[in-house]
């Protein structure tokens, strides 16, 4: 059998792939598996505290501490929420997505969608930066100006486009009201206009505040009829009765106002004005005046609940048994479970902290970058592929695009293979796959042998050996490494970036690569015998 005949093996080569592993759900049903380990935004409702983590929405009951999750399955219109804000007068949560889509979630769970901004044909970004509810209208600070929403009628009432003299949109970062005036903060200015002024869509109606503190603005809030301006330097200045006081606070990461309290957030600290320290980084704070309770967006700890009369009494809430991140690069089956990894690559690593997530019996078990660092002494990044031992699913390898090859035993980090202690010629391991003899095959691109294999050496570790016939330097980024289902002598490499797009190898059933047969191509024939070629092949699947 020559290598040209290998193309008779059916391979599905696709430009992109979406993989969703759903277990223990009925036919025609879906279940979401979202991460809640990076809570950055919270909003207090009457009975619940809403929170956003990596774009995923959940809530905590104020009294019973019950945790509820929300998704498209439960009625939301989109994915990746950026901002939330509770409108107490309407008893509904405002939720904005990164693409400009908006949902209003009522206390009873019903959802009303407003897609006007999402559907708007505009060159500017559509992410909501800030919001203000005033006089039955919701004002949204946007990268192109202000959008005024009539919440009762669920429609856009007006849009104030802000354009500079060069025709570029002005990014409205924050919006607030002092007296009868609206104040809008942009990176290099603050604009003011009468809140009930006419024709505010005319940019000439907006007055520019003078004598701003020097520096780039990031946010402003209104507290006790004063404007608190946070700048990129971390300094907070205050505008009161037309006079600026600079440097009121320094080293500030975030500021927000909630029910009569100004929260100043610094590194592992909040001030309101009491100073409270934590062993995590608070992202946002809210105050429930009825119960005298402070709620925090507590990063990886979820939502933190603190009694104001006992600041050391702290409770944490978030959905349990979930994956560690929503940034999933690849998912592979391993017996009766799934293993997912966080990472990424193109021509260079993405720098994504390497996490491995195992789904089994309806629960996720996470292996963090920190655990890998603790056990193996290396800070791993960009996991891109997984190969599990068929005889022992708790034994698996993960390839990293930049930090080598990682072996796991009993679901724990076991050994790190790199250039200094193995046959790897670089830290880039694009793909990994086991054959029937428990040898591990791997892609080590842009080296003198881009295909290598590893086999146990008798000391509970693996020896990595080259396949010398795969010395192509024109393969830069690999997508998938496959072993033929019917004849394991044949291996197939799918290439994302490179002059060669596909490689087939016949190793002749031996470890000696001297007589290996290799076939490469950059184009294919379709069912009508027409030649086709794609710029990038993102995935390869072998027909069973």
User: At which residue do the structure tokens 């059998």 appear?
Assistant: 1
The one-character DSSP state at 119 is H
Phi and psi, residue 500, nearest 5° = -95, 135
**Does 10 score more than 50 pLDDT?**
no
* Residue among 35, 25, 21 nearest 319 (CA): 35
What would the pLDDT profile of 358-373 be if each residue is shown by its tens digit? 999 989 999 999 999 9
What would the pLDDT profile of 85-121 be if each residue is shown by its tens digit? 999 999 999 999 999 999 999 999 999 999 999 999 9
Q: Which residues face 342 on adjacent strands?
A: 328, 355
Position 12 scores a pLDDT of 34
Beta strands in 298-411 (DSSP E): 303-307, 310-317, 328-334, 337-342, 355-360, 363-367, 383-389, 392-400, 404-409
- CATH 2.40.10.480 location in the chain: 34-117+279-319
Position 175 scores a pLDDT of 98
**Two tokens at 322?**
């979930």
Average predicted confidence (pLDDT) for the chain = 90
Whole-Å CA distances, 541 to 111, 274, 537: 39, 59, 11
Integer Cα distance of 391 and 437 in angstroms: 11
User: Cα 77 to chain center, whole Å?
Assistant: 19
Position 418 scores a pLDDT of 97
* Residue among 343, 319, 359 nearest 37 (CA): 319
Q: How many other C-beta atoms lie within 10 A of the C-beta of residue 354?
A: 26
Kindly indicate the confidence band of residue 21, based on its pLDDT and cuts at 50, 70 and 90: very low
Position 3 scores a pLDDT of 37
Kindly indicate the confidence band of residue 511, based on its pLDDT and cuts at 50, 70 and 90: low
Kindly indicate the confidence band of residue 464, based on its pLDDT and cuts at 50, 70 and 90: very high
**Does 452 score more than 50 pLDDT?**
yes
361: left (phi over 0), alpha (psi -120 to 50) or beta: left
* Residue among 156, 60, 50 nearest 106 (CA): 50
Position 17 scores a pLDDT of 31
**What stretch of H or E contains 374?**
helix 369-376
Tell me the percentage of the chain whose pLDDT exceeds 70: 94
Integer Cα distance of 192 and 242 in angstroms: 12
Q: Are 475 and 520 in contact (CB under 8 A)?
A: no
Q: Are 451 and 505 in contact (CB under 8 A)?
A: yes
- Section 337-362 average pLDDT: 92
Q: Are 418 and 376 in contact (CB under 8 A)?
A: no
Q: What is the strand order of the sheet 189-194 is part of? A: 174-178, 181-186, 189-194, 207-208
What would the pLDDT profile of 155-187 be if each residue is shown by its tens digit? 999 999 999 999 999 999 999 999 999 999 999
Position 513 scores a pLDDT of 55
Q: Which fold has domain 34-117+279-319?
A: Thrombin, subunit H (2.40.10)
Q: What is the strand order of the sheet 363-367 is part of? A: 328-334, 337-342, 355-360, 363-367
* Residue among 76, 85, 133 nearest 109 (CA): 76
Whole-Å CA distances, 280 to 31, 67, 355, 446: 31, 21, 20, 41
- Identify the weakest region by mean pLDDT among 305-319, 344-358, 412-426, 528-542: 528-542
- CATH 2.130.10.10 location in the chain: 3-17+323-542
Position 18 scores a pLDDT of 33
**Does 383 score more than 80 pLDDT?**
yes
- Identify the weakest region by mean pLDDT among 129-143, 198-212, 327-341, 454-468: 454-468
Whole-Å CA distances, 162 to 127, 170, 460: 15, 5, 65
448: left (phi over 0), alpha (psi -120 to 50) or beta: alpha
Integer Cα distance of 508 and 98 in angstroms: 52
The predicted model scores a pTM of 0.80
Helix (H, G, I), strand (E, B) or coil at 300: coil
**Does 507 score more than 90 pLDDT?**
no
Q: Are 138 and 132 in contact (CB under 8 A)?
A: yes
What class has domain 3-17+323-542?
A: mainly beta
Q: Which residues face 307 on adjacent strands?
A: 293, 310
């Amino acid at each position: 059998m020559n290598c040209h005949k290998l193309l008779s093996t059916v391979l599905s080569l696709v430009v992109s792939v979406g993989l969703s592993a759903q277990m223990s759900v009925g036919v025609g049903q879906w279940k979401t598996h979202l991460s809640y380990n990076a809570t950055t935004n919270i909003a207090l409702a009457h009975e619940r505290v809403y929170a956003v983590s990596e774009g995923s929405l959940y809530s905590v009951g104020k009294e019973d501490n019950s945790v509820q999750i929300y998704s498209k399955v439960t009625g939301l219109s989109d994915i990746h929420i950026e901002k939330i804000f509770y409108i107490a007068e309407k008893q509904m949560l405002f939720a904005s997505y990164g693409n400009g889509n908006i949902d209003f979630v009522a206390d009873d769970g019903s959802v009303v969608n407003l897609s006007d901004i999402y559907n708007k044909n505009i060159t500017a970004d559509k992410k909501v930066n800030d919001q203000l509810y005033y006089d039955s209208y919701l004002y949204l600070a946007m990268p192109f100006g202000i959008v005024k929403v009539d919440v009762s009628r669920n429609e856009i009432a007006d849009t104030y486009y802000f354009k500079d003299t060069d025709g570029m949109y002005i990014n409205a970062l924050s919006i607030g009201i002092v007296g009868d005036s609206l104040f809008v903060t942009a990176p290099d200015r603050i604009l003011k206009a009468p809140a009930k002024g006419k024709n505010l869509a005319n940019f000439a109606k907006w007055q520019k505040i003078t004598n701003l503190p020097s520096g780039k603005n990031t946010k402003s809030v209104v507290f006790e009829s004063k404007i608190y301006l946070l700048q990129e330097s971390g300094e907070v200045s205050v505008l009161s009765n037309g006079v600026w006081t600079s440097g009121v606070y320094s080293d500030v990461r975030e500021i927000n106002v909630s029910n009569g309290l100004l929260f100043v957030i610094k590194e592992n600290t909040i001030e309101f004005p009491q100073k409270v320290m934590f062993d995590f980084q608070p992202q946002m704070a809210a105050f429930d005046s009825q119960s005298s309770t402070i709620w925090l967006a507590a990063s990886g700890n979820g939502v933190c609940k603190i009694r104001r009369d006992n600041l050391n009494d702290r409770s944490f809430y978030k959905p349990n048994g979930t994956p560690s991140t929503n940034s999933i690069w690849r998912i592979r089956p391993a017996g009766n479970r799934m293993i997912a990894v966080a990472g990424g690559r193109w021509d260079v690593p993405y720098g994504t902290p390497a996490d491995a997530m195992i789904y089994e019996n309806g629960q996720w078990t996470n292996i963090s970058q920190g655990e890998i660092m603790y056990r193996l002494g290396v800070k791993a990044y960009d996991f891109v592929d997984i190969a599990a031992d068929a005889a022992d699913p708790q034994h698996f390898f993960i390839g990293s695009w930049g930090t080598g090859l990682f072996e796991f035993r009993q679901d724990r980090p076991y050994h790190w293979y790199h250039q200094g202690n193995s046959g790897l010629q670089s830290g880039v391991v694009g793909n990994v796959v086991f054959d029937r003899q428990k040898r591990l095959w791997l892609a080590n691109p842009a080296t003198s042998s881009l295909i290598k294999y590893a086999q146990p050496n008798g000391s509970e570790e693996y020896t990595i050996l080259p396949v010398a016939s795969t010395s192509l330097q024109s393969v830069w980024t690999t997508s998938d490494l496959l072993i033929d289902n019917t004849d394991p002598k044949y291996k197939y490499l799918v290439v994302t970036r490179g002059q060669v797009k596909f490689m087939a190898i016949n190793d002749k059933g031996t470890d000696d690569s001297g007589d290996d047969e290799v076939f490469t191509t950059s184009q294919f024939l379709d069912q009508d015998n027409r030649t086709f070629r794609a710029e990038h092949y993102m995935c390869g699947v072998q027909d069973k």
